[in-house]
Amino acid sequence: MKFVDEFRNSEAVLAMSSEMRRIATRPWRIMEVCGGQTHTILRFGLDSLLPPGVAMIHGPGCPVCVTPVESIEEAVAVSRLPGAVLCSFGDMLRVPGGMETLASARASGGEVRVVYSPLDAMEMASVEPGRQFVFFAVGFETTAPVTAAAVLLARRRRISDFSLLCSHVRVPPAVETLLSRPGPGIEALVAPGHVCTVMGCGEYEELSNRYGVPVAVTGFEPVDLMQGILMCLERLEEGRAGVDVQYSRSVKPEGNTEARRLMDEVFEVVDRRWRGLGTIPGGGLDLREEFHDMDASRRFGISVTAPEDDARCMAGRVLSGSMSPADCPWFGGECSPEHPLGAPMVSSEGACTAYHRYRPPAGRNAGDG
């Protein structure tokens, strides 16, 4: 960001902290949905500036963390096919599958390449004919438009050696699943600005109306988050639901219409299993029927039995906001970035990674490792 300093202005942050303390009359539970927001809150200590009793709950907004075990197993299986190359974002390589990770599959002879975009994988297919290049398509609505663009471009250029393992997920259905659960609930949402930049605010307006929760769509810097939390508190104290767009420098109510058009042309909404959260209705995107020839699972007849997550891993409780990573009995001991039990300790956006980095367990200094 060109003017990042203005969104890290300590005086502005402290002024909003004082205003929160002035208006808050009772405890509130506010979920920040995105893992990037969690990292900012912990890195800058924003949670320590909130009024007593106002708690930030960490949500499921980490695409690496929620990719299910069976998707990792499929990707490993592709990497072992003769003549096939599995192309993946680098942060997926150490995510635990059943018995293996993509990193261990590569170490034992699987063909795995790290790419920055599905377009990289498509270009590899165009210059290395005779090999099958499969892109591991993970991520939220933010990365899906680029995947859709790669599919359409490959079709137009008649690149037949390019296909996808599609594991894209949609954020609002997961948030609705959490809002609908019984027990001490989520009373407001800090929604992810990058997703809303693509999709707009319509789905969050529906959630706000249906569940009576205030929503603030924010960016990822300290001023963004403090302003968004203040917006939520103002609505909570006044008993008003509704959506405020704090991240107006990026988010339009209708979103990015061209990106949405690309997604609609290539993908359809499907039920999808999220790691730790189970199957979420409407929680994923898959290739439409007219693009099934580019579906690697169909192309190569891949079928895996979904293995169980490590029984010790508390990913489901962490991703649903019902447990803080620091309260996990394995945190910092049997589960660490070097030896993770689950995805939230692997991903750069994972809540467990954030706690390990910024709220290290006893005996470890912040910034070590």
Q: Are strands 28-34 and 54-61 parallel, antiparallel or unpaired?
A: parallel
| Distance between CA atoms of residues 273 and 291, nearest Å | 22
Per the CB < 8 A criterion, the answer to whether 85 and 162 are in contact is no
Mean pLDDT, rounded, of the chain: 93
pLDDT band at 184 (very low <50, low <70, confident <90, very high): low
The pLDDT of residue 288 is 98
- Sorted by sequence, the CB contacts under 8 Å of residue 54 that are 6+ apart come out as 20, 24, 27, 28, 30, 229, 233
Nearest to 274 by CA among 177, 147, 136, 165: 177
Strand segments, DSSP code E, in the chain are 28-34, 54-61, 84-88, 112-114, 132-139, 162-168, 188-192, 214-218, 242-245, 267-274, 278-287
What is the reported pLDDT for 310? 72
Pairing of β 267-274 and β 278-287? antiparallel
pLDDT surpassing 80 at residue 309: no
The per-residue pLDDT for 28 is: 97
CA-CA distance, 299 to 202, in Å (whole number)?
36
pLDDT category at 367 given cuts 50, 70, 90 is: very low
Name the residue among 32, 35, 33 with its Cα closest to residue 350.
35
Rounded to whole angstroms, how far apart are CA atoms 31 and 57?
4
Residue in 225, 226, 218 with CA at minimum distance from that of residue 243 = 218
pLDDT at 2 over 60: no
Q: What is the dihedral of CA 80, 160, 116, 285, to 10 degrees?
A: -90
CATH numeric code, 4-61+177-245: 3.40.50.11750
Domain range list for the chain: 4-61+177-245, 68-168+256-300
> In this structure, are strands 132-139 and 84-88 parallel, antiparallel, or unpaired?
parallel
Distance CA 92, CA 160 (A): 25
User: What's the rounded mean pLDDT across residues 175-181?
Assistant: 94
pLDDT band at 330 (very low <50, low <70, confident <90, very high): very high
State how far the Cα of 197 lies from the Cα of 218, in Å rounded to an integer: 10
Q: Which percentage of the chain shows pLDDT scores above 70? A: 96
Q: Do domains 4-61+177-245 and 68-168+256-300 have the same CATH topology?
A: yes
Residue 193 buriedness (CB in 10 A; 0-12 / 13-18 / 19+):
buried
5-9, 177-181, 197-201: least confident range:
5-9
pLDDT, average across residues 252-264: 97
Residue that the structure tokens 């409407």 belong to: 282
Class for the domain spanning 68-168+256-300: alpha beta
What pLDDT score was predicted for residue 368?
44
Alpha-carbon dihedral angle through residues 321, 311, 62, 96, given to the nearest 10 degrees: 170
pLDDT per position as a tens digit, 32-69: 999 999 999 999 999 999 999 999 999 998 988 999 88
What does the pLDDT read at residue 369? 41
Render pLDDT for 222-235 as a digit per residue (tens, 0 to 9). 999 999 999 999 99
pLDDT in tens, 197-212: 999 999 999 999 999 9
- The closest of 210, 211, 196, 167 to 64, measured between CA atoms, is 167
Residue 1 has pLDDT above 50, yes or no: no
pTM of the model: 0.92
CA 331 from centroid of its chain's CA atoms: 21
